[in-house]
Structure 1
């Protein structure tokens, strides 16, 4: 079965971001590989060796997020035109995650009721990742 997996890009903050997401989302960080730890370490410029070339975060329920730092010599423009959507079984869990993800970031739509969920909201976290958080989905 084909799975769509978001691959987040960062500008040197990938390790911090993925550890933060692991904690907030009660997930498991399965891979956090720097250039220095990779099979191509001897080909990696020393000034880039600390950057993360691949991270994999296993989410509860079977979802996955991948991530890495953009190559240091490539201009980084941030994450644009996409949000990572999270659906939670309860409003309470959605509100907890929303509050933790938004700390130090920017709420773009406060948590509120919608026709598709008892609560939803939008934010950009302190690492620049846009999120949509849904709590208790409704049939429509």
Structure 2
């Protein structure tokens, strides 16, 4: 069994995933728009395209390292509400964690600057431009 996060970007899914490809080395495994749904005529209310959303992402799966993250444009409200969780990435060295942290903070907000802690050589938290909070660290050696 695995737990996989499913992120609803409310109309900005493609933009977010392109950002994660550049900043975190994400790779897209699959992408389906609402109009590509093979059973669109039988779709339940949450899977039917609204007016002007046919080309929006119904389901997308991307990978960061060995982790799979699923995503969608959801209802395309342009108001994602990511609260009560954060995504954590453990990096092998200080240079890698600093590079990712600096890239994610562009257009976002630093919650906790990178610094040494009792549990990590480097740890920091940043909310990116899409509202996702990331906790980045390098474990002590």
Give the TM-score category using the shorter length. Answer: 0.7 to 0.9
The match for 1:27 is 26
- Counterpart contact for 1:41–1:49, Cα < 8 Å: no
CA RMSD of aligned residues (A): 1.9
Give, in whole Å, the separation in 2 of the partners of 1:83 and 1:15: 20
Shift of residue 77, structure 1, vs aligned partner? 5.0
- Counterpart contact for 2:9–2:80, Cα < 8 Å: no
Offset from partner CA, 1:76-111 (integer Å, 9 cap, x none): 451010001111011110010000011110001000
- Counterpart contact for 1:25–1:97, Cα < 8 Å: yes
| 3-state SS of paired residue (1:12) | coil
- Counterpart contact for 2:10–2:79, Cα < 8 Å: yes
Offset from partner CA, 1:50-77 (integer Å, 9 cap, x none): 22111111222x11111111214x7945
> 1:93 and 1:85, CA in 2 relative to 1: closer, same or farther beyond 3 A?
same
The match for 2:54 is 49
> 1:105 and 1:75, CA in 2 relative to 1: closer, same or farther beyond 3 A?
closer
Shift of residue 41, structure 1, vs aligned partner? 4.3
Give, in whole Å, the separation in 1 of the partners of 2:78 and 2:115: 36
Any gaps of 5 or more consecutive residues in structure 2?
A: 42-47
Q: TM-score normalised to the size of structure 1? A: 0.87
